[in-house]
Amino acid sequence: MYEFFEHTADIGIKVKAKTLKELFQNAALAMFDIIAHKLPTTQHLSPKSKTYIIKQEADTLDELFINWLNELLSLSATKDLIFFDVRIHKLNDKNLQATVAASPVENYELNTEIKAATYHGLKLKRNKSDWQAEVIFDV
């Protein structure tokens, strides 16, 4: 779903997807995959999931991408939740609307704290048949 690229102090990832919506989804899920893994002992439990509607606005697609990821990080940190499902309903260069589902942090083993997604080295591009993003997280 995603691969790491080398960065001295932080974590860089490369994400690919068929559509732009999927790219935003995959990047968000990759981010939470770095942050936490579901504890095997809680695998059988049905997650007490909470859903949120996220709306973001920005002037450019790059900005929207970074705002989206940082909004999820911030929400996850304040509510003690890990997001495991993401559905993007509406997405253009300036607006995003999504429904995200999260489960309590106690069901997870936390691996890495991501402080933020950064603009440094950010690449969002459309290839012939897919989309690709490169983003560096401050950890």
Q: Contact residues for another protein (CB under 8 A)?
A: 4, 6-11, 35, 59, 62-63, 67, 70, 74, 77-78, 80, 105, 110-113, 115-116, 118-122, 136, 138-139
Q: How far is the CB of 38 from another protein (least distance, A)?
A: 15
* Complex with another protein: residue 17 or 71, whichever CB lies closer: 71
C-beta of 35 vs 86, nearer to another protein: 35
Pair of tokens at residue 117: 């997604």
Q: CB 20 → another protein: shortest distance, Å?
A: 20
In the complex, least distance from residue 17 CB atom to another protein, rounded to whole angstroms: 22
Amino acid at 103: S
Tell me which residue of 113, 98, 115, 90 sits closest to 36, measured CA to CA.
113
Encode 45-76: b = buried (16+ Cβ within 10 Å), e = exposed.
eebeeeeeebebebeebbbbbbbbbbbbbeeb
